[in-house]
Chains A and B, each alone.
Chain A
Amino acid sequence: MDFTFSPEHNALRRMIREFVENEVAPLAADLDKKHLVPRETMRKLGQLGLLGVCFPQKYGGAGAGETGYCILMEELGRVCTSTATNVGAHIGIGAMAIYLDGTEEQKRKYLTPLSRGEKIAAFGLTESNAGSDAANIRTRAVREGDSWILDGGKVYITNGGYADIVTVLALSDPALGVRGGVTAFIVETTWDGFKVAREEDKMGIRGTSTAELVFEELRVPHENVLGKVGEGFVSFMKTLDMGRLTLGAAGLGGAEAALDAAVYWAKTRKQFGVELAHKQSVQWMIANLATHIEALRSLVYRVAWMVDTGQPFTQLAAMVKMYGSEVGSMAIDLAMQIHGGLGYSRDFPIERAFRDARIAEIFEGTNEIQRIVIASNIFRELGVRVRP
């Protein structure tokens, strides 16, 4: 066993941390207040190769594996959940689907500019009646010669409002449904028939675009079918597995920052003549949280190592997403409680982080879905089929 990071990963973390402190942290409050996406930050991250952190260098990536990707998300999660979410949607699900299932030609054409931040990706899965029940999609794809015609729409698509490339899941054979009748497509957002219909007004991660997309007779060339016709559902579920883990890493970063803030304030703020740090109720809260964070950190990087060494990780990725989001929420709630009124004020970053943290228990598979994934993996070996 070896629980240390490689020198390369340590160097990567130092580089990312410096970037995050100089380029991401100063913008975080404004992104939230003005409801802006960090397009310029994405461009700079791309120039550093960080938007392809886990992809091979021949596709413009940094070749730092899932471990490197988790380091990136942890460091971003420390200061700006919105930026982390832009990056996560771009790399972890948008570009990831192309990396996992794209042809060599598709990777050269699409993955390389995505890694370099020249183009932005989004992942088009969710529909209004297909949230947790992702198999219930209705967007139609009809073959017409060398093209497919897409009609329908997607909701709650992260990066949807400014993406250049969206991977879209559509029903290509309604008779077969998810078992062979669903196909994934690479869609360029400049094509006729692609429309951003609406931007959501969210409680948190307000520095992200969450958009409703509409497709009207959207013509996609057959060469943009991602993976095999009819196998899109399996492909998208595989992609989500990869994304889940790194959301846990972002939650880890958010929790660490919250703990740091809580500890700092506990040793600064005096009540009844002493610092809060002398109060046992405060000490206990901090001790509990610090323990959860240690457990989460070990889990995140163990699962990253499993991905990088080619071991099965589906069940553990679900655990990381679930636990990471719940530790993240617990941490920021504690930080708010220790800050009292200051924590409740929008003048301080605690309040923003509190609103931001809550979505992680919901998106990319609600934590209820993660529990189903975990339970079904446990019971499968016993011959019990767990249904949602």
Chain B
Amino acid sequence: MDFTLNEEQRMFRNMFRDFAAKEIAPRAEAMDHEETMPPDLLQKAANQGFLGATLPEDYFGAALDGVSYALLLEALGAASMSVAVSLATHVSLVAMSILEFGSDGQKEEWLPPMAAGEVVGGFALTEPDAGSDAASLQTRAVREGDEVVLDGVKAWVGNGGIAGLFLVFAREPEGISAFLVPKDSPGLTVGYREPTLGLRSVSFHTVYLEGCRVPAANRLGAPGSGWEIAQRAQDRFAIALAAAGVGVSADSVDVAAKFATERIQFDVPIGQKQAIQSYIAQSFIETEALRYAVYHAAWLTDQGDFSAEAPVVKALAARVARFVTNKMLQVLGGYGFMEDYPMARKYRDARALGIIGGPTELHDVRVAQRIFAAYDLPVAP
């Protein structure tokens, strides 16, 4: 075992933190209020190689190892959860699915422009009546000659407003399949944008597929392999979200500790009050525990199978980030409730971790399934 970052990882971490501090943090508040993801910010991220973070160099990616990618999301999440979630949608959900399951032609067509930030990926799995439950998926794919015709409605499509390419899941006779659907495909309409409590710079949209035609060659993987693709993508995404959760938690502790040092009440900095120390210490402890669980899961993404750890760290991250942002907001008192301080935004953003990428309760079920599998006890969701 070795719990140190190697020299390259340390260098990356500094670079990521610099980028987040210089390019994101100063505008994070404004982006949240305006509910925008500035194109120039994405372009700057692309110029640094972040939009092809874990893609190989053959496709102009940055070829980051799993831990370095977690360090990137941690740094982004500290400055803006919206940027972290948008990037994780693009990289973990869409680009990495193409890399892992795509044909050579699909990879060559889509991965270089995705790494360059010319095409942003959007992920279209959820439907109005199908959240976490594959069996309820209604969107259909019908083959017509060399084409596939898609019909259905996708909800909460991440990056819906900025995506050039959607990874769409639809039902075929063989089961659920995944399709690469360019935004300009006939019959695809980007509809309603969800107004959200937090993550306000990530655009979540309804996407309508009405007789939407794509070449049959745009199927990702074999017919019926879509659920496997979706699971694998969501596991990668879960670890990425958890890494962003480390960032928002750690930064909240920093913000609160600084405030508690400066805020004088009863003649002393409130950081000298034991209750405040306890809030901050507990939050720090939970953040550290999460951090190393996430680095471990991130390291596993380079070893092959990470399906056991993904729900563990996502559930942990949801609970830790919720606890920490809540307690740190309390340290700031009235200032924490004001929208011109960053704590309220962090608090609103962190709440999403218990919901997006699957609810925490479902992660608990998956963990229980794995535990009870050793005893041959089936666990239904």
Chain A residues within 8 Å of B, Cβ to Cβ: 126, 129, 131-133, 136, 156, 200-204, 270-273, 279, 281-282, 333, 336-337, 340-341, 343-347, 351, 354-355, 358-359, 361-363, 366-368, 371, 387-388
Chain A residue at minimal CB-CB distance from B276: A368
Tell me, rounded to whole Å, the shortest Cβ–Cβ distance linking A220 to chain B.
Answer: 26
Query: Which residues of chain B from 308 to 326 have any CB-CB distance to chain A below 8 Å in the complex?
Result: 322
Tell me, rounded to whole Å, the shortest Cβ–Cβ distance linking B200 to chain A.
Answer: 9
If A133-B265, A337-B359, A346-B195 touch, does A359 touch B337 (CB 8 Å cutoff)?
yes
Task: Give chain B residues whose Cβ lies under 8 Å from the Cβ of A204.
Answer: 337
Of the A-B pairs whose beta carbons lie under 8 Å apart in the complex, a sample of 6, sorted by A's number, is: A156-B334, A203-B337, A344-B197, A344-B351, A345-B195, A358-B347
If A272-B135, A279-B361, A361-B330 touch, does A340 touch B196 (CB 8 Å cutoff)?
no
Chain B residues within 8 Å of A, Cβ to Cβ: 126, 129, 131-133, 135-136, 155-156, 194-198, 264-267, 273, 275-276, 322, 329-330, 333-334, 336-340, 344, 347-348, 351-352, 354-356, 359-361, 364, 380-381
User: Bound state CA distance, A138 and B267, in angstroms?
Assistant: 14
Inter-chain contact A271/B348, CB cutoff 8 Å: no
Q: Which of B194, B196, B334 contacts A131 (CB 8 A)?
A: B334
Task: Give chain B residues whose Cβ lies under 8 Å from the Cβ of A340.
Answer: 131, 355, 359
Q: Which 3 A-B pairs have the closest CB atoms?
A: A346-B195, A133-B265, A203-B344
Inter-chain contact B266/A133, CB cutoff 8 Å: yes
Q: Which of A200, A273, A336 contacts B135 (CB 8 A)?
A: A273
Task: Give chain B residues whose Cβ lies under 8 Å from the Cβ of A270.
Answer: 129, 136
* Most chain B CB atoms below 10 A, which of A202, A271, A354: A271
Q: Which of B131, B196, B339 contacts A202 (CB 8 A)?
A: B339
Tell me, rounded to whole Å, the shortest Cβ–Cβ distance linking B367 to chain A.
Answer: 12
Inter-chain contact A281/B264, CB cutoff 8 Å: no
User: Bound state CA distance, A91 and B381, in angstroms?
Assistant: 49
Task: Give chain B residues whose Cβ lies under 8 Å from the Cβ of A129.
Answer: 264
Tell me, rounded to whole Å, the shortest Cβ–Cβ distance linking A157 to chain B.
Answer: 11
Chain B residue at minimal CB-CB distance from A276: B361
Chain A residue at minimal CB-CB distance from B195: A346
User: Bound state CA distance, A366 and B364, in angstroms?
Assistant: 34
Task: Give chain B residues whose Cβ lies under 8 Å from the Cβ of A203.
Answer: 337-339, 344, 347-348
Task: Give chain B residues whose Cβ lies under 8 Å from the Cβ of A156.
Answer: 334
* Most chain B CB atoms below 10 A, which of A129, A133, A367: A133
Inter-chain contact A271/B197, CB cutoff 8 Å: no
User: Bound state CA distance, A366 and B330, in angstroms?
Assistant: 8
If A133-B266, A281-B361 touch, does A362 touch B131 (CB 8 Å cutoff)?
no
User: Bound state CA distance, A129 and B329, in angstroms?
Assistant: 18
User: Bound state CA distance, A343 and B380, in angstroms?
Assistant: 25
Tell me, rounded to whole Å, the shortest Cβ–Cβ distance linking A194 to chain B.
Answer: 22
Inter-chain contact B333/A351, CB cutoff 8 Å: no
Task: Give chain A residues whose Cβ lies under 8 Å from the Cβ of B364.
Answer: 281
Task: Give chain A residues whose Cβ lies under 8 Å from the Cβ of B322.
Answer: 333
Chain A residue at minimal CB-CB distance from B365: A281
Tell me, rounded to whole Å, the shortest Cβ–Cβ distance linking B33 to chain A.
Answer: 9
If A341-B194, A354-B351 touch, does A272 touch B337 (CB 8 Å cutoff)?
no
Q: Which of A131, A202, A282, A337 contacts B333 (CB 8 A)?
A: A131
Tell me, rounded to whole Å, the shortest Cβ–Cβ distance linking B278 to chain A.
Answer: 11
Tell me, rounded to whole Å, the shortest Cβ–Cβ distance linking A251 to chain B.
Answer: 16
Chain A residue at minimal CB-CB distance from B329: A358
Tell me, rounded to whole Å, the shortest Cβ–Cβ distance linking A169 to chain B.
Answer: 17
User: Bound state CA distance, A355 and B198, in angstroms?
Assistant: 11
Task: Give chain A residues whose Cβ lies under 8 Å from the Cβ of B338.
Answer: 200-203
User: Bound state CA distance, A353 and B329, in angstroms?
Assistant: 17
Inter-chain contact A344/B337, CB cutoff 8 Å: no
Task: Give chain B residues whose Cβ lies under 8 Å from the Cβ of A346.
Answer: 195-197
Inter-chain contact B132/A271, CB cutoff 8 Å: yes
Tell me, rounded to whole Å, the shortest Cβ–Cβ distance linking A211 to chain B.
Answer: 13
Task: Give chain B residues whose Cβ lies under 8 Å from the Cβ of A359.
Answer: 337
Task: Give chain A residues whose Cβ lies under 8 Å from the Cβ of B344.
Answer: 202-203
Q: Which of A344, A355, A368 contacts B352 (CB 8 A)?
A: A344
Inter-chain contact A337/B135, CB cutoff 8 Å: no
Inter-chain contact A337/B196, CB cutoff 8 Å: no
* Most chain A CB atoms below 10 A, which of B267, B361, B380: B361
Tell me, rounded to whole Å, the shortest Cβ–Cβ distance linking A36 to chain B.
Answer: 17
Inter-chain contact B197/A337, CB cutoff 8 Å: no
Tell me, rounded to whole Å, the shortest Cβ–Cβ distance linking B275 to chain A.
Answer: 5
Inter-chain contact B381/A272, CB cutoff 8 Å: yes
Inter-chain contact A132/B333, CB cutoff 8 Å: yes
Tell me, rounded to whole Å, the shortest Cβ–Cβ distance linking A40 to chain B.
Answer: 26
User: Bound state CA distance, A344 and B197, in angstroms?
Assistant: 6
User: Bound state CA distance, A136 and B263, in angstroms?
Assistant: 13
User: Bound state CA distance, A132 and B355, in angstroms?
Assistant: 34
Inter-chain contact A345/B348, CB cutoff 8 Å: no
Task: Give chain A residues whose Cβ lies under 8 Å from the Cβ of B131.
Answer: 271, 340-341
Inter-chain contact A347/B275, CB cutoff 8 Å: no
Inter-chain contact B264/A201, CB cutoff 8 Å: no
User: Bound state CA distance, A368 and B279, in angstroms?
Assistant: 11
Chain A residue at minimal CB-CB distance from B334: A156
Task: Give chain B residues whose Cβ lies under 8 Å from the Cβ of A361.
Answer: 330
Tell me, rounded to whole Å, the shortest Cβ–Cβ distance linking B318 to chain A.
Answer: 10
Q: Which of A355, A366, A371 contacts B197 (CB 8 A)?
A: A355
Tell me, rounded to whole Å, the shortest Cβ–Cβ distance linking A338 to chain B.
Answer: 9
If A133-B265, A358-B347 touch, does A351 touch B334 (CB 8 Å cutoff)?
no
Inter-chain contact B334/A341, CB cutoff 8 Å: no
Chain B residue at minimal CB-CB distance from A126: B334
User: Bound state CA distance, A203 and B200, in angstroms?
Assistant: 13
User: Bound state CA distance, A106 and B227, in angstroms?
Assistant: 73
If A203-B337, A204-B337, A271-B133 touch, does A368 touch B275 (CB 8 Å cutoff)?
yes
If A347-B195, A354-B197 touch, does A366 touch B329 (CB 8 Å cutoff)?
no
